[in-house]
Structure 1
Amino acid sequence: MLKNLILLSVFALLSTSCVSSKLYKELEGKYSNLKSDYDELSSSNDQEILQKKELEQQLSMLQASFEDVQSERDLLLQELAALQKKYDNLDAAYTALEQNSSKSIEENAQKNRELLAQLEAKEQALAAENERLMRLEADMQERAQRIAELEALISAKDQAMTALKNAISNALTAFEGKGLTIEQRDGKVYVSMENKLLFKSGSWAVGTEGKKAIQQLGKVLGENPDIAVLIEGHTDNVPYSSGGQVANNWDLSTKRATSIIAILSQNENIKLENLTAAGRSEFAPIATNETKEGKSKNRRIEVVLTPKLDEISKLLNTN
């Protein structure tokens, strides 16, 4: 939302005076930098969700391995008990046969030594498996804790974005039914304003009613300084043909986005480095361009609000 307010401010400034080449290039450079930051944040968010899924898969595999090792340990315990019983029987037989020939005694003694060696080997194997189980269990606990921390962070971000969406909805109540929609999906908040609320046909100057909406949005963004704001300008598929300072739909959609930023930038509580302006022209429609109503919906400004993901990135980069 911060980005939308700033874009509206920039559009207002651009619309009321001729835009110099130097100012336009500065805006283009700022857009490029902010777009890069936005792409990086989006990529980081996708990687974090992917790493969470990988951690959950690893935890599942560790759980299966843990159960297999437990089964092996139980089998070793059974074998150990059977060997112990066999050893006890042979020891009893040895005692009973002590009065027999020295050959029989030697044979029993040899069997006893072999059984003792087997018992010792089984005990060592059991000790090794127990140690392995302990390591696996510690690893599982560590990964489970990291998953829990990730889930808590993601949940906190989602709750914060829900609160932000509600705050924006409350702030823009007066503009309901005037081409305004607000929704939350994929961990982000999307505020869409049709051009009929903001601009006249072919213009990038924000009207009085639209300026009020952007300023209300800016108040909420000023209270949420850690939100990245992407302002996107969209058009229908009718080629721009009025000439003048606008070359085509790409140019018009970009100028409208920067006009929104111009309005937002007037709010001192909004961090300008969090704002990004983008022109999408006609290539991201939300409705058909075959009808008048569909074209009207496609001519819009879309404000995309994304939470900062620094804490999640730090957690994912921890070994």
Structure 2
Amino acid sequence: MKKNLVMFSVIAGCVLMSSCVSKKSLENCQAENQKLSENFRDMAKNYQDAKEQLAASTARMTSLEDQLAQQKKDYAALQGSLDKSLANAGQNNISIDKLVDQINESNQYIRHLVEVKSKSDSLNLVLTNNLTRSLSKEELKEVDVQVLKGVVYISLADNMLYKSGSYEINDRAAETLSKIAKIIKDYKDYDVLIEGNTDNVPVNASAASMKNIRNNWDLSCLRASSVVQALQNQYGVDPKRLTAGGRGEYNPVTSNDTEVGKQRNRRTQIIITPKLDQFMDLIGQAPETE
């Protein structure tokens, strides 16, 4: 009996050991299978990426080939034009030296224009800086100075320049106009246009100070004329350099729908530009062409 029990125990142990070994082998196989699956997915992704890169490279190469073909075509067209031009030059006995001289003259003229423009831009910048430095902080609140396309614009609010509802210059504007006049006198090679502007509200013709004014055209012109006469008579600006003009309500800088907008549109601009005859002289200096 004891012997049989021992044999049974041995057999049971063997069975249990065999079962443990089989389970461990199965787990190892599963782990290896999972690793192989992950490797396969990685390889598949790498393959797809490489495929896409190859397609992109192929497309780029095709585009470059098209560009090269177009450049070859353009080069051939240019070569043909050159050959034709040379043939025409030979047929018409055109002097190459004369063409070179004309090109050189044109280049010199262009350089001259660039130098003049650079000089004008520099002078305008200096003029603007000098004017801005001469005005006080309080004056700068009512005076706007800008340089646009080589022209200096000084914009003054109407309530700073004129008596209420009038075109007469008030006492408060005297100091500001004297500073602007000094800058104008310092730059003798510049012409000065005084331009009056209004909002779109019709003038009150029944007011005592407005009885001779029919509309905003009259008001803007008279205000510009008042500034011109003040610059001439009180501050000694040469009247030959001055022009007075009015644009009425037809040159607004913003909408007249608000009181703030109307206030901005009621302004007088002092526009300082290089003299026109200087530019006409430059045009006259342009090289002649045949």
TM-score by structure 1 length?
0.57
Which structure 2 residues correspond to residues 93-132 of structure 1 after superposition, within 5 A? 132=95
Which residue in 2 is equivalent to 1:119?
none
Question: Is 1:232 aligned to residue 187 of structure 2?
Answer: no
Report the 3-state secondary structure (helix = DSSP H, G, I; strand = E; otherwise coil) of the residue aligned with 1:211. Answer: helix
Which structure 2 residues correspond to residues 81-160 of structure 1 after superposition, within 5 A? 132-160=95-123
Q: Give the Å deviation of 1:315.
A: 3.2
CA contact (8 A) 1:225 1:270 kept: no
* 1:208 maps to which of 135, 148, 171: 171
CA contact (8 A) 1:225 1:271 kept: no
**Which runs of at least 4 in structure 1 moved beyond 6 Å after TM superposition?**
none
CA contact (8 A) 2:152 2:271 kept: yes
Report the 3-state secondary structure (helix = DSSP H, G, I; strand = E; otherwise coil) of the residue aligned with 2:164. Answer: coil
Which residue in 1 is equivalent to 2:128?
165
* 2:217 maps to which of 246, 250, 270: 250
Name which one, 1 or 2, has greater alpha-carbon Rg. 2
**2-side partners of 1:225 and 1:311: how far apart?**
13
**1-side partners of 2:262 and 2:161: how far apart?**
15
Q: Give the Å deviation of 1:174.
A: 3.9
Q: Give the Å deviation of 1:222.
A: 1.3
Which structure 2 residues correspond to residues 59-98 of structure 1 after superposition, within 5 A? 68=82, 72=86
* 1:287 maps to which of 254, 258, 266: 254
Report the 3-state secondary structure (helix = DSSP H, G, I; strand = E; otherwise coil) of the residue aligned with 1:265. Answer: helix
Which residue in 2 is equivalent to 1:194?
157
What RMSD, in angstroms, separates the aligned Cα atoms of the two structures?
2.7
Q: Give the Å deviation of 1:247.
A: 2.1
Report the 3-state secondary structure (helix = DSSP H, G, I; strand = E; otherwise coil) of the residue aligned with 1:281. Answer: coil
Report the 3-state secondary structure (helix = DSSP H, G, I; strand = E; otherwise coil) of the residue aligned with 2:153. Answer: strand
Whichever residue aligns with residue 257 of structure 1, its letter is A
CA contact (8 A) 2:194 2:269 kept: yes
The alpha-carbon distance between structure 1 residues 233 and 72, as it changes in their structure 2 partners (threshold 3 A), is: closer
Which residue in 2 is equivalent to 1:118?
none
Q: Give the Å deviation of 1:71.
A: 9.1
Q: Give the Å deviation of 1:132.
A: 3.1
* Deviation digits for residues 180-237 of structure 1 (CA, Å, limit 9, x no counterpart): 1000011110000111211233111222221211111011111112211111111111
- The percent of aligned pairs where both chains have the same amino acid is 32
* 1:183 maps to which of 136, 146, 150: 146
Which residue in 1 is equivalent to 2:52?
none
The higher relative CO (CA closer than 8 Å, separation ≥ 6) is in 1
Whichever residue aligns with residue 262 of structure 2, its letter is K
Structure 1: tracts of 5 or more residues without a match: 1-63, 74-124
The alpha-carbon distance between structure 1 residues 68 and 311, as it changes in their structure 2 partners (threshold 3 A), is: farther
The alpha-carbon distance between structure 1 residues 281 and 315, as it changes in their structure 2 partners (threshold 3 A), is: closer
**1-side partners of 2:234 and 2:125: how far apart?**
23
**1-side partners of 2:82 and 2:193: how far apart?**
50
Q: Give the Å deviation of 1:283.
A: 0.9
Which residue in 2 is equivalent to 1:301?
268
CA contact (8 A) 2:181 2:235 kept: no
Which residue in 1 is equivalent to 2:282?
315
**2-side partners of 1:136 and 1:171: how far apart?**
52
